[in-house]
Structure formats: structure tokens, C-alpha cells
Amino acid sequence: MRFANHLWAFWKARCKQVYEGKQINGRQVNFLANSYTFLADLSTHFDQEFHRVVQQGCNWGRCIPERGNICRMDGSYFDQGRSGWAYTLSLGDHLLQFGAFAGTASSPLHAEVNAMLVSLRAAMMVGWSSARFFTDCQLLVKVINDLLLPESLDWRVYSDLLDVIVIFKGKEGFTCFYVPRDLVLQEHYLANYARMHNISTVQHSYPSFPPI
């Protein structure tokens, strides 16, 4: 499976270069292939706990020397409102919990708001009073940080967006930051998987993300 997924990832990288003019380096291809393998394994063992020996060093596919409570999330949206969202809670590279959920949303932004909302609730459930939240949705970050009025966005998102704002206003230790897509790839793949397979689950208490 791993060999076949690497072949597929190389083919997708070639298509990106030939048809879109995008250069994909070897590390990105390897991470993409490993993500395919992880998701294939996830489809078989999604409801089982992962008991695996963790990799040494950077287990996230992204070597970022961060410490403290960290939450990353992403939303996935398709036509007719089919959506998925996912989050991970960690202390640096030490994974505490991840969740993936399937449902409906009115727009891609709505899916991102749902991802933020479940992330906030998960952080509060584990007792966090301070945390950094990372998302690739610039509009959401601007609203949370008072750089954009929520009334200027899609009215169908307004109610859930207000819930997000209220939580951030009530938790002074919660901060929100924008990051590029490649820093939330794992959450992106989890959100897509939940949407495509209509699966919702929460897994927790792991020393790190399952090796992929």
C-alpha cells in the first residue's frame, strides 16, 4: 500500500507541474503519500485505538518548535452542503486528542467556523484556559481578532460565528492565528476523510500522531 501510494503521489505531483505549473518538492510528495497511507489505514481501524510506537523527532510532518497548548483545525466543504471538519490538540509535538466530524454546512466558510467551534469546545473540555488556535481561513482569523465585522460575512454563518467570538472574548488566554494550508495538512486530510465517508469520531491520549 505504501509503495502504491507513493506512485500515486508522484503522479499527482507531475500533474500539478505539467498542468498547473506548480513545483512539488520531494518532501511534500513523501508527506502526501504517507497521508494517503494513513487515511487508508484509518478507514479500517478508525474506531480502534492506535497503539503504535511513535516516531522519534518531528511526528507531525512539520518541524515547528512550538510549545504550550496548540490546536489546529480545518473544514472541508463540497456541493449540496456536504462537509467535514477536524481538529488536533497538542502540547508541542505531543498529541493529546484529535477529532473528525461529518455534517452539513452552508459554505466553505461555514465548514471552517464549525471546525473552530468544535476545536474550542474540545479545548475547554480538556480544561485548557489558554491555547493558540491555528487555521488557514483568513476571514475567520480577521473576525476573531476584530479586524473584520461578522456582519460583513455570509448571514448563514452568523449564529455559529457569534458562538466562536463569545468563547474567544470569554477566554483571554485563547488566541487565533492564520497559517498556510501546508501547516494544517493533517487536519485537512482528516476533514476530507470525515466528509467523504460520513464518519465522526474523537481519539485521544496518544503520545504522538500515529506514524504515517
> How far, in Å, CA of 177 to CA of 165, rounded?
14
The tens digit of pLDDT for each residue in 47-56 reads 343 333 223 3
Using the predicted structure, report yes or no on whether residue 29 has a pLDDT greater than 90: no
- Residue 35: CB atoms within 10 A of its CB come to 21
> How far, in Å, CA of 91 to CA of 195, rounded?
27
Instruction: State pTM to two decimals.
Output: 0.67
Average the pLDDT over each of 50-54, 69-73, 129-133, 152-156 and give the range with the smallest value. 50-54
Domain boundaries, the chain: 2-45, 69-204
> How far, in Å, CA of 162 to CA of 147, rounded?
15
Q: Which residues lie across from 131 on neighbouring strands? A: 174
Report yes or no: 88 and 98 within 8 Å, Cβ to Cβ: yes
> How far, in Å, CA of 12 to CA of 8, rounded?
6
Please report, as a single letter, which amino acid is at residue 84: G
Max alpha carbon distance in the chain (Å)? 49
Looking at residue 168, what is its pLDDT? 94
The tens digit of pLDDT for each residue in 145-172 reads 988 888 888 888 888 999 999 999 999 8
CATH topology of domain 69-204: Nucleotidyltransferase; domain 5 (3.30.420)
